[in-house]
Amino acid sequence: MLGLIAGAFIAVLGVTGSILAFEPELDLLLHSDVSYLAPSGKVLSLVEIGDSASRKYGGDPVVAFLPSSSPHFPAQVVMSRGIVSVNQYTGEVLGIRTRGQTFFGFVRSIHVRLGTGDVGKNVLRLSAAAMLFSIVSGLYLWWPLKRLRIRTPWLSGGFWFDLHNSVGILALVPWLVLGLTGTVIGFEDQVAAVLDRVAGSSPAHTNRSLMRSDAEPGAIEITPDQAVAIACAQLPGAVPSRVQMPRYGGIYVVRLEYADHRIAGGENSFSIDPWSGKIISADLAADLPTRERLMAMNEAIHTGDGFGISGRALVALAGLILPVQAASGIVIWLRRGRIMRTN
């Protein structure tokens, strides 16, 4: 009965999770007109890229830069009206994605809280916990028969019974991993408190509002390209993923990532004085406390990011067949009398 009640919510988690597993690729596909270009020549500076975007949209100031992660992807400029895609070789503005609710934002809100706030969040995290109970109880029920074949005729009682058993045992490990990691994410605050007590530490947060500096007479503000160069010199091999302009916070904040670091690799950031070029603070993945490292690892496993494209594909597949398991379970319950007589 618990499985029936939670089945619909578990199916929602599966479908939305499958979509989010390939969000970057699907997002590029849905916005192909502003997402692809042919490499040609020398890459322009961030200043030149920002000037092109600003001129196109009436002098709107640049909030941040999102440098290109591939020669075939445009650079992006964050402005108050939206995110502008710019050809980093020619300075051509390819288009703008205005702010507001996106398709993937909607899918994420459904996946995390059913789009309804704290009530939906509580329902889904309890559903993730119920999924774990259903998996364990399903294994207990499967064990005496150990059935791994599907009988015909199609859509008969025996077919649904065998489908439910076969799919369940084959997807047991991925579902168990998704259920465990999803439950940890759902009860993140409680789990984090336990980890802090075990590790004897607490998360440290950098207060960047206290870092603003005043320009000395005659001082010239460094460019975003210079800020990136300063940050990259600290982490050779890392590439910039975001450059926050000092207009919004008083300092440059440069975030760096390692392409081959899939777990917490995006947690490297440097706060840089825009006048002196001095590094005011550094938040590095290597310095993350135990709690944050374990939570990042848990999320990377849940999304499949920790294992690259193959991990995300497995997560997507496991999520897509969850509705099949939920539907077959409902059919078995509705036809339980006839199915029991045939088994």
Query: Tens of pLDDT along 223-257?
Result: 999 999 999 999 998 999 999 999 888 999 999 98
For 289-329, the DSSP string reads -HHHHHHHHHHHHHHSGGGHHHHHHHHHHHHHTHHHHHHHH
> Is the Cβ–Cβ distance between 132 and 69 less than 8 Å?
no
Instruction: Give a yes or no: residue 119 inside a domain.
Output: no
Instruction: Give a yes or no: residue 245 inside a domain.
Output: yes
Q: Give the pLDDT of residue 218.
A: 67
CATH of the domain at 270: 3.10.450.40
Instruction: Give a yes or no: residue 266 inside a domain.
Output: yes
Distance CA 290, CA 233 (A): 26
User: Most distant CA pair in the chain: distance in Å?
Assistant: 90
Provide the mean pLDDT of the chain. Answer: 87
Query: Tens of pLDDT along 267-313?
Result: 799 999 999 999 999 998 888 888 888 888 899 999 998 888 999 99
Q: Name which of 70, 100, 71, 74 is nearest 85 in CA terms.
A: 74
Please give the structure tokens belonging to residue 210: 């206290």
Please give the structure tokens belonging to residue 180: 């465990």
Count of structural domains within the chain: 1
Query: Tens of pLDDT along 149-184?
Result: 887 787 777 888 889 999 999 999 999 999 999 999
> What pTM, to 2 d.p., does this model score?
0.82
Question: What angle is formed at CA 85 by the lines to CA 262 and CA 270, rounded to 5 degrees?
Answer: 45
- Structural domain of 251: 208-288
Specify which of 8-17, 47-56, 291-300 reaches the highest per-range mean pLDDT.
Answer: 47-56
Tell me which long-range contacts 248-253 makes (C-beta under 8 A, separation of at least 24).
Answer: 248/63, 248/64, 249/208, 249/209, 249/212, 250/208, 250/211, 250/212, 250/213, 250/274, 251/208, 251/211, 251/212, 251/213, 251/280, 252/222, 252/224, 252/227, 253/208
Asked if the model's pLDDT at residue 205 lies above 70, the reply is no
Please give the structure tokens belonging to residue 317: 């597949």
Q: Taking the alpha carbons of 298, 23, 268, 100 in that order, is the dihedral positive or negative?
A: negative
Instruction: Give a yes or no: residue 199 inside a domain.
Output: no
Per the listing, tokens 């999770």 go with 17
How far separated are the first and last CA of the chain, in Å rounded? 20
Instruction: Give a yes or no: residue 95 inside a domain.
Output: no
Instruction: Give a yes or no: residue 90 inside a domain.
Output: no
Instruction: Give a yes or no: residue 16 inside a domain.
Output: no
Please give the structure tokens belonging to residue 144: 């005496």
For 158-219, the DSSP string reads HHHHHHHHHHHHHTHHHHHHHHHHHHHHHTHHHHHHHHHHHHT-------GGG---PPPTT-
Instruction: Give a yes or no: residue 328 inside a domain.
Output: no
